[in-house]
Amino acid sequence: MNEAFWNHKKIFIIGAAGFIGSTVARYLLDFPGQFFIAGIDNLNDYYDVSLKQDRISRLQDERFRFIKGDICDAAFLEELFQRFRPDIVIHMAAQAGVRYSLENPQAFLDANVNGFFHVLEMCRRYPVQHLLFASSSSVYGEADHYPSAEDDSTDLPVSFYAATKKSGEVMAHSYAAMYGIPITGMRFFTVYGPWGRPDMAYYRFAEEMKNGEDIPLFNYGDCKRDFTYIDDCVEGIIRLCEKAPELPVPFEIYNIGKGSPNDLMDFVRILHEEMVNAGLVTDDYDLESHIRRVPPQPGDVRETYADTRKLQERFGYQPQTDLRTGLHWFAEWYGKRNR
């Protein structure tokens, strides 16, 4: 982290009670410096609100202020931009969940399209030095080759969630082109780790193991994911923050992923071993007897695999945390929270 860069910056983290947003804030606050972070979140009840509140509780610092509000409320957002005039906006707020987009697509349209539009408008009216926003590996759809690079086609999303993320990228590019706003999009690949989202597969697997329940594996367990540990993801975000895209069109997209996918069954076995090591699952728990291989779900893809060369070449960075280390730290955290 370039501490001189952050000094005297006013930073908005939108989605500050979320998994990645709160971890970015915690990362910044662990460093000295005279900067100010406004953390914005609506604390919706898509999953356990107490987890979101506990994430915010970790951010107690005179340089941090939490503000509850909804980015779909344009007047609320404009009042904040007018009052604080942020230098950097890290936009992590979104309605997540591929399967939930089948149940409640309106929530995705509201947050991921209309809400992001309001953020773009505020960055136009109250010019910022750099806007960064969360996209997703889901925009690649069912790719016809791997790894997926930033210039590969993203025209055929297979979930409405992915479609809203693709829409955000297109809208952001138009604002960068029309108004010269420096904007960076980040395509995250299956981020996992402590303080994660309970709706994510790895978190549900941990719950099911702890409770002795069956563990459903979609697509009969035949899939791969580019699992990216949260600290590696945040390190990538911080590096991207420190170098805004330049004219003529100040817009860039980067993959943030490990760059080496793992089989889902390998992931589950390692998680099981780490849950046993953490004392959360007994030695006599028979993992294989609890596995249920079930058909694929609408919107799922068979594999995600990040081409990370662009991030490496421009920033000298690639996530490095191996799966066992990442799952060890997740299991340790999960145990402390759920004993």
Q: What is the DSSP letter of 117?
A: H
306 close to 255: Cβ distance less than 8 angstroms? yes
Query: Is residue 116 one of the residues assigned to a domain?
Result: yes
Which residue in the block uniquely carries the two structure tokens 């479609």? Answer: 163
Which of the residues 100, 161, 202, 254 is marked catalytic?
Answer: 161
Report percent pLDDT > 90 for the chain: 86
Position 283 scores a pLDDT of: 79
Query: Is residue 221 one of the residues assigned to a domain?
Result: no
Looking from the CA of 258 toward its CB, the CA atoms found within 13 Å total 20
Mean pLDDT of 206-233: 92
Report percent pLDDT > 70 for the chain: 100
Instruction: Single out the residue of 127, 133, 113 nearest to residue 252, CA to CA.
Output: 133
Tokens of residue 77, six digits = 């957002």
Query: Is residue 96 one of the residues assigned to a domain?
Result: yes
Q: Based on the number of CB atoms within 10 Å of its own CB, is 212 exposed (0-12), middle (13-18) or buried (19 or more)?
A: exposed
- Across 99-103, 162-166, 194-198, least confident range: 99-103
Query: Is residue 46 one of the residues assigned to a domain?
Result: yes
Domain of 114, in residue numbers? 3-197+228-258+306-319
Mean pLDDT of the chain: 95
Mean pLDDT of 23-27: 98
Mean pLDDT of 144-151: 95
Query: Is residue 136 one of the residues assigned to a domain?
Result: yes
Strands of 130-136's sheet in order across: 64-68, 36-41, 10-14, 88-91, 130-136, 183-188, 251-256
In this model, does residue 248 exceed pLDDT 90?
yes
Mean pLDDT of 193-210: 95
CATH number at residue 56: 3.40.50.720
Tokens of residue 159, six digits = 């979930």
Position 3 scores a pLDDT of: 85
Position 222 scores a pLDDT of: 86
Mean pLDDT of 225-245: 97
In this model, does residue 202 exceed pLDDT 90?
yes
pLDDT-derived band at 221, boundaries 50, 70, 90: confident
Query: Is residue 328 one of the residues assigned to a domain?
Result: no
Q: Of the segments 99-113, 123-137, 204-218, which one has the largest average pLDDT value? A: 123-137
Position 153 scores a pLDDT of: 95
The length of the chain, given as a count of residues: 339
Q: Following CA atoms 292, 261, 201, 167 in sequence, which dihedral angle do they give, to the nearest 10 degrees? A: -130
Residue 334 appears among annotated catalytic residues: no
Position 143 scores a pLDDT of: 85
Instruction: Single out the residue of 310, 309, 303 nearest to residue 146, CA to CA.
Output: 303
Query: Is residue 32 one of the residues assigned to a domain?
Result: yes
Position 38 scores a pLDDT of: 98
Per DSSP, what are the bridge partners of residue 184? 132, 252
Instruction: Single out the residue of 231, 230, 261, 238 nearest to residue 311, CA to CA.
Output: 238
CA pair distance 135, 319, nearest whole angstrom: 18
Total domains, the chain:
1
Q: What is the pLDDT of residues 259-280, one digit of tens each?
A: 999 999 999 999 999 999 999 9
Count other Cβ atoms within 10 Å, centred on residue 68: 12
Position 279 scores a pLDDT of: 93
In this model, does residue 229 exceed pLDDT 90?
yes
Position 1 scores a pLDDT of: 82
Query: Is residue 167 one of the residues assigned to a domain?
Result: yes
CA pair distance 28, 178, nearest whole angstrom: 31
Mean pLDDT of 28-44: 96
Mean pLDDT of 226-252: 97
Q: What is the pLDDT of residues 276-335, one digit of tens each?
A: 999 999 878 899 999 998 888 888 898 999 999 999 999 999 999 999 999 999 999 999
Mean pLDDT of 68-81: 97
Output the DSSP codes for 270-315.
HHHHHHHHTTSS-TT--HHHHEEE-PPPTT--SB--B--HHHHHHH
In this model, does residue 98 exceed pLDDT 90?
no
Instruction: Single out the residue of 47, 45, 121, 34 nearest to residue 77, CA to CA.
Output: 121
